Amino acid sequence: MTKQEFLAHVRALYVVGNLSDSDSDSREAWTSPAMSGAACCKALDGMLRAMTDCGAITSDEAQLFYDNM
């Protein structure tokens, strides 16, 4: 799996987490508003920070990830 493919998977998870706390028609029934916090998005933010800290992704790549959300 390439880095871009990996980040695309992370993005998909992040989108589900964000939508879980919305009234969007795209929100899946199985999601819960609590997912947008610690259960999903916060955990992904921590993972991206740790990946930046260990050099797996650059800070520019991390910022681009968030800019394209």
pLDDT digits (tens, 9 = 90+) for 10-39: 999 999 998 898 888 888 889 988 888 888
Q: In this structure, is residue 55 part of a structural domain?
A: yes
> What pLDDT does 39 receive?
87
Q: In this structure, is residue 35 part of a structural domain?
A: no
Q: In this structure, is residue 56 part of a structural domain?
A: yes
Cα-based distances in Å from 32 to 10, 26, 42, 52, 62? 18, 13, 14, 29, 26
The pLDDT of 36-56, averaged and rounded, is: 94
Q: In this structure, is residue 63 part of a structural domain?
A: yes
Check whether 62 has a pLDDT greater than 90: yes
Domain that holds residue 55: 1-13+43-69
Domain count, the chain: 1
